[in-house]
Amino acid sequence: MAATFHETIHVALSDIKLQQNILTATNRFNEKRREIVAPEALPDYQELRSAAHAIKKHALDRLDSYLEMLEGKVREHGGEVVWCPDGEAAVHAVLSIARENGVRLAVKSKSMVTEEIHLNDDLEKNGIEVLETDLGEFIQQLSGERPFHIVAPAMHKTRGEIAELFAEKLGMARNDEPTELTKAARGVLRQKFLEAGLGVSGANFLIAESGAVVLVENEGNIRLTTSVPRVHVAIAGIEKVIPRAADLAVFLKLLARHGSGQPLTSYTSFLSGPRRSGEINGPEKFYLLLLDNGRSRILADAEKRQTLYCIRCGACANVCPVYRRIGGHSYPGTYSGPIGAILTPQFQGLGFESNLPFASSLCGACGEVCPVKIDIPRMLLALRRDVKEAETRQEKWRWEKRAFQAWSWLMRHPRLFEWAGFFGRAFVWPEAEGKWIRSLPGPLNAWTDTRDFPPPAEQSFRRLWRARQKQRSPGNGKSG
C-alpha cells in the first residue's frame, strides 16, 4: 500500500543525509540566483518580472487564437501539429509516429511534461527503447527513480552512490570522480544519439508568430536530440505559448538566472520545423504535440489561471522551507515544491492529496522569487479555502464547523468573550502557574504535538489596556 503524505514526510525528515544534500544544493542555487539578479548584475530585474507576467497574461487570455496561429506557422515551416487532449492521446501519438518511422530506439531530453504523461513506461512496453540523455535524468533512469528536483534531477545522490550505480549498470570500474563519471555517460549516450531514429524533447516556450519551440540547456543533449535523429517530436503543454520571438528578450534574461544562477545557459535552441533545403543537417520530420491534460480546466478558473504562467525554473522550490526539508520525492504527483503544491490539486483534483495546500508556512518566499510573479501564497490560500469548502459539506467535519461557528459568535460579542477568558484563566488553568502547556486535551493535541502552548497571562490585554488608559487620563471616563 502506498505511504501517505504524512508517512512519506516523516521518513524524509528522519533522513539526515537527505537533509544535508538538499540544503547544500539549494543553498548553492539560492546564492547564485541572489547574486545574478542583484541590481549590479540586472538593474531592471523587477521590470522584467512585471513584463514577463504581463506577456504570459496576454498570451493565456488569448490562448485560443495563439494556438491557431502557432499551428498555422508550424505547418508553414514543414512541421505537423498533433493535438492531445490528455496524456494517453500524447503517448498514443508518439507511438504511432515511432511505428510509422520504424523507430526502435528513441533519445529523450529532460521534460517534466513527459514525466506527467509517463511516456517512457508506455514506449518501453511497446518495444521501443527510450534513453534519458540529460545526465541527472540518465542517472535517475538507471536507478529506476523519479526526478528529485525540476532542475537538478539527481541532486540527492552522492558521487559514491552514482559510482556504484554506474559500476553496476554500465560495467564501469568504480570511480567516483565526477569527470570520469561524466565521461562514461558521454560515451554511452553519444553512441545512442548517433543510432536513434527518434528524438523527443519538451519545450520551454512555444512561439506563436514563428511556429517555433525554444529549448534551453547546459549539457548539449537537447541540441543532439533535436539535430541528429531523423525525426524530432516536441511535446509541450498548451500554456507554454508566448506571442513573439522578441518576447524572449524578457524571458531569457530571467529563466537561467532563476533556474541555475547563470546569465544564459550554455545553449538556447530556437527550432522551427524540419531542416530546410540548403541546410546540411537537422531532422527530416518535425512534430509538435500540444498537450491539454487539464490545463484548459485551470485556464477556466480566472482566480488561479496564473498558475499556468510557470516557466519551470525551480526557484520557488529552492527557497521553500517545506521543500528544503522533505525533498521532491515526498510530493505526490509530478511536480514538487510550491508550484507542485498548487498545480497538483488543480491537475489531479483537490481530493488527490488534500494536505498539499496546507503543507506550507505561508512565508511568502516562493512568491517573492517567482520570475513571472505568480502569487503562489494567494493560490495556496485559495486552494485551502476550496478544500475546506468541499470538506465542510461532508458530515464528518460538522464538529469542526460548529466549533468555528461558536468561536465566531463569541468573537462578535466582546463582553462575553472577555468573561469567557476570565473564567478560563480562573478555573481551567490554575495549575498552569506561568508554565508552558506541554499537551492540550483531545483533538487540540494536534496543536501541541510539535510545540508547547503558552500559559495565559495574569491579566488580559483588555484589562491592561483599560488600566493604562485610566493612568493616562484619570478624569476621562471612557472605558476600553
Partner 1 sequence: MAERENILHKVRTALGHHGSSVPEPPSPPRLIVPSWSPEERLARLTAKFLGETVRCASLDEAAAFIAARVAGRSAVAANHPLLERLGVMSLPSVRSGLTGRDESRDGCAESEIGITGVDYALADPAALVMLSSARNDRLTSLLPASHIAVVEADKVLTGLDELFTIVPDPAEISSSMVLIGGPSRTGDIEMTLTLGVHGPREVCLVIV
Site for partner 1 in 191-230 (CB under 8 A): 193-194, 207, 209-212, 218-221, 223-224, 227-228
The distance of closest approach from Cβ of residue 390 to partner 1 in the complex, given in angstroms and rounded to an integer, is 21
**What is d(CA 122, CA 101) in angstroms, rounded to the nearest whole number?**
17
The distance of closest approach from Cβ of residue 233 to partner 1 in the complex, given in angstroms and rounded to an integer, is 15
Pick out residues in 242-281 that bind partner 1 (CB under 8 A): 243-250, 252-253, 260, 262-276, 278-281
Pick out residues in 11-30 that bind partner 1 (CB under 8 A): 24-25, 28
Residue span binding partner 1 (CB under 8 A) among the ranges 66-74, 339-347, 407-415, 450-458: 66-74
Which of 185, 359 has the CB closer to partner 1?
Answer: 185
Which of 159, 468 has the CB closer to partner 1?
Answer: 159
Q: Is 58 in the site for partner 1 (CB under 8 A)?
A: yes
Q: Is 38 in the site for partner 1 (CB under 8 A)?
A: no
Binding mask 288-327 for partner 1 (x = CB under 8 A): --x-x---xx-xx---------------------------
The distance of closest approach from Cβ of residue 388 to partner 1 in the complex, given in angstroms and rounded to an integer, is 25
Q: Is 73 in the site for partner 1 (CB under 8 A)?
A: yes
Choosing from 87, 136, 199, 340, the residue that interacts with partner 1 (CB under 8 A) is 136
Q: Is 135 in the site for partner 1 (CB under 8 A)?
A: yes
Q: Is 162 in the site for partner 1 (CB under 8 A)?
A: yes
For partner 1 (CB under 8 A), the number of binding residues is 101
Which of 51, 359 has the CB closer to partner 1?
Answer: 51
